[in-house]
Amino acid sequence: MNELRQRLLELHKSLVDVEREGYERARGRMTDGEFLKALIDDPAFAWLAPLTALIVRLDELEGELPREYKTEIRKLLRPDELGLAFQRRYHEILQRSPDALVAHGAVVRLL
């Protein structure tokens, strides 16, 4: 479970990095603190909430990863241009970010 959590964190970071690049391109450079505040408060980043919440829930688990979590992760990380907000944005990012695609593959291999 620790390796899966680590790979999910790496995937989350790669998604945030892509979003930060675009956000700063439109609004100008930001300090890490300014960006963190935007990440929390700006609705433009709300699509990341399902992955963030999943990682938090994994942190609270003890022992083996329940099978339903693996199923939930697979469903969430299914890029779909017609799916839920997370899946649509995820699909877009995977199309243009090699780092995010590699991070996605690392998670999928563990499942």
Q: What is the pLDDT of residue 65?
A: 86
Cβ(94)–Cβ(104) under 8 Å? Answer: yes
What span, in angstroms and rounded, lies between the C-alpha atoms of 20 and 104?
A: 18
Q: What is the mean pLDDT of residues 46-75?
A: 92
What span, in angstroms and rounded, lies between the C-alpha atoms of 23 and 60?
A: 31
What span, in angstroms and rounded, lies between the C-alpha atoms of 103 and 91?
A: 13
Between 1 and 26, whose confidence is greater? Answer: 26
Indicate if the pLDDT at residue 1 is higher than 80.
no
Q: What is the torsional sign of CA 19, 20, 21, 27? A: positive
The pTM of this model reads 0.92
